[in-house]
Structures are given as C-alpha cells and as structure tokens.
Structure 1
C-alpha cells in the first residue's frame, strides 16, 4: 500500500456546497447567509470573544471587586491563641468543644488556630490547620497538637 492508494471510506465524504450558482443549485443569490451584514461577507465574521467593541468578558472579569483568587478556596473557622488562654489546663480544644463553651459561635468550616496571643497552660488541640507560630507556643507550654479533619470545606458547601 502506498500513500497514493489511500482513499476515504465509502460514504464518509460529502460533496461541497456550490454557493451562488442559481436557484436550482439550492443555495443561489445570498447563498444561505441571509441578506447583508458582516456575517454575510466573505471572511466569516468577528473573532471569537468579540462583543462589538464592548470590553469583552475575558478582559472584564479580573477587574471585578472580590473576584476569587481560585475556585473553592477552603474556608476555616479561625481562632487566635489569645481566646484559648482562659481555658483550664489539660483541656481538649476542638471546634465542637469551643462551640459548647461559647468561644466560637458559628461554624464557618474546619478549625484553624492562629498564633496571636500566648497560652500558659498545656492544651490538647484537635484542628484542621494550625500556624507554625501557634504550634510552637502550644508545644512550649507543654500541650499537644493533632492535625486532622476536612480541609475541603468551602463557604459554598
């Protein structure tokens, strides 16, 4: 078999439309493109994304306020170490225990501990995330940190 012997499968090709060759040809006069206008001329029409001179969507979007940096950004329930300083020694800190105590009032997603403030008593912290400074302060006070829980929580879910 040679390159010149290759043929398309029978029935896979169709004849091209002969435009502008009279009524009998089926596509006479305006060639099925309607009357006049940009889309009736040769060369097709405007490029994809063109909106008639208006700033197109792909150029408008990043300028909008509050445009998300990435989709489904994880949302955490944030709390600083300052709020945990009043807890008794040996307490277990989790989102559920903080809600029971009234320290946290809303569940905005998994718990994340931030390092602002000091903690002077040993605590057992169960959270989805913790900052390095907060971890160092908790462990310096003799506490433990257990990381776990769902990180995929989002404001939309």
Structure 2
C-alpha cells in the first residue's frame, strides 16, 4: 500500500451540482429552482411553521391549559425503598445526603416520602415532605419523620 494508491471508498465522494451553466447541462435556465415564486428568488428563507399559505398547525389547534410557574415538584421515594436501603446499609438515620450518595435522588431534588410498602425497622428520616400515611407508618414502626 502506498499513499499514491489510496482512494476514498466507493460512493463516498459525490460531485457537486454545477447549476446555471447552460441548457446543455440540464441545470441551466432556472438553475433547478422551478419557475417564479418565493423559493426561486435569492435570499429566500421560509418562516418557521410556514405551510405554504395554508393555516399552520399551531393556529389550527386550539390552546388549552397552563403551566403553573409556582408548582413545586417533589421526587417521590416510597417506604419500601427506604426499608431496602436500611436493610442493605444498616443505617438508622436517613436524610437527603444519604439518598444522594446512594444514587436515589439528584442534587437539585426536593424529596417527599410516600407510603407504598412498609417499614419494619425504626428509622429517623429527615427530608422535605411526607405523606400523612407515610409519616404514620414510620412512627408506628418506632421511627421519626422529621421535615427539614
């Protein structure tokens, strides 16, 4: 193999279209742009969402609903997850840092404990929120549910 014998892979290199170079080329005259109209002119750029003059979809479909900018989004962690974490690590105190270090939440999450599953060991759980059933279940098992 020599540098002088190297060639690109078959079909990987295409010759560019030379438009506007006479009728014999097949791309003369209108330069493959068709006849008249905005798209045949230089400098034409279609507006985003333009559908050729027909009513665009964002105007055909009705508006409804809204996004509440004050909504507080919580990351839900269930009791069975807490119990599995306690069984695996032997921890009795669970807080945000514990959940983060075990990959259950990300740094910017607000955590709320929900009541799916059950807790058998007495855990001291400190997070931003609890459902009433989850709080009752933790305290029934001899633990503490601390909002903080």
With normalisation by structure 1, the TM-score equals 0.48
User: Once the 2 structures are TM-superposed, how far is the Cα of residue 105 of structure 1 from its aligned partner?
Assistant: 4.2
Task: Please name the residue that 1:97 is paired with.
Answer: 98
For 2:74 and 2:141, the matched residues in 1 are separated by 25
For 2:111 and 2:76, the matched residues in 1 are separated by 6
Task: Please name the residue that 2:111 is paired with.
Answer: 111
For 2:106 and 2:91, the matched residues in 1 are separated by 24
Match of 1:82 among 76, 80, 83: 80
CA change 1:146–1:125 in 2 (3 A) is same
Tell me the SS of whatever aligns to 1:106. Answer: coil
Task: Please name the residue that 2:134 is paired with.
Answer: 134
User: Once the 2 structures are TM-superposed, how far is the Cα of residue 80 of structure 1 from its aligned partner?
Assistant: 0.5
User: Once the 2 structures are TM-superposed, how far is the Cα of residue 77 of structure 1 from its aligned partner?
Assistant: 1.8
Task: Tell whether the 8 Å contact from 1:94 to 1:111 is kept in structure 2 after alignment.
Answer: no
Instruction: Write the deviation string for residues 62-108 of structure 1: whole angstroms up to 9, x where unpaired.
Output: x15xx32x222001121011101120466211121012123x04245
Q: Which runs of 5+ in 2 are unaligned?
A: 1-58
- Relative contact order, CA 8 A, sep 6+: which one is greater? 1
Task: Tell whether the 8 Å contact from 1:99 to 1:105 is kept in structure 2 after alignment.
Answer: yes
With normalisation by structure 2, the TM-score equals 0.51
For 1:76 and 1:127, the matched residues in 2 are separated by 11
Cα RMSD after superposing both structures: 2.6
Task: Tell whether the 8 Å contact from 2:113 to 2:134 is kept in structure 1 after alignment.
Answer: yes
Structure 1 stretches of 4+ moved >6 Å: none
CA change 1:101–1:130 in 2 (3 A) is same
User: Once the 2 structures are TM-superposed, how far is the Cα of residue 109 of structure 1 from its aligned partner?
Assistant: 2.2
Aligned length: 87
For 2:141 and 2:114, the matched residues in 1 are separated by 16
Task: Tell whether the 8 Å contact from 1:90 to 1:121 is kept in structure 2 after alignment.
Answer: no
For 2:134 and 2:147, the matched residues in 1 are separated by 13
